[in-house]
Amino acid sequence: MLNITLICVGKIKEKFYCGAIDEYKKRLSRFCKLNIIQVKDEPNEDGQQKIVLNKEAEKIAAKIPKGAYIISLCVEGKQLSSEQLSEKIESLSVTGESHIVFIIGGSLGLDDSIKSISDLKLSFSKMTFPHQLMRVILLEQIYRAFTISAGITYHK
């Protein structure tokens, strides 16, 4: 079974996000082994953005499993359709990748050091989304990708 890990900066406090995340974790359990790792976000003081990004990057890098295929979410990344994401995940599992890691940065995004080690930089839109909501969107798209591959009628 494919291992999928989400490494996310910051903790989700809102119950409605937590409920949606729990629902997709349950749905995904039939397709993959899912692990969500939260790393503590750094306080963002004026003029300290680079330091904050660097500290968060160190925490993220420490959690990336060796040999994993790394997908970082960033605005300058490549945009894929749901079908293309499904094909990507399926092709990775077929070619022997056993672990895919998706990385979601905090309110400042991701440090270049994380982007540079990524196998794929992925963008969901040119728009900016709250990083808490992005977790839900990403989980839904991963679930949709698996249902597309499995021929399940969830995807329209």
47: region left, alpha or beta (phi > 0 left; psi from -120 to 50 alpha): left
Q: Is 5 annotated as a binding residue?
A: no
Calpha distance 104→101 (Å, rounded): 10
Q: Is 16 annotated as a binding residue?
A: no
Q: Is 1 annotated as a binding residue?
A: no
Q: Is 151 annotated as a binding residue?
A: no
Type and span of the H or E element at 141:
helix 131-150
Q: Is 126 annotated as a binding residue?
A: yes
Burial label, 62 (beta-carbon count in 10 A; 0-12, 13-18, 19+): exposed
Q: Is 73 annotated as a binding residue?
A: yes
Type and span of the H or E element at 70:
strand 69-79
Which residues fall in the annotated binding site? 73, 105, 124-129
Which residues fall in the annotated binding site for S-adenosyl-L-methionine? 73, 105, 124-129
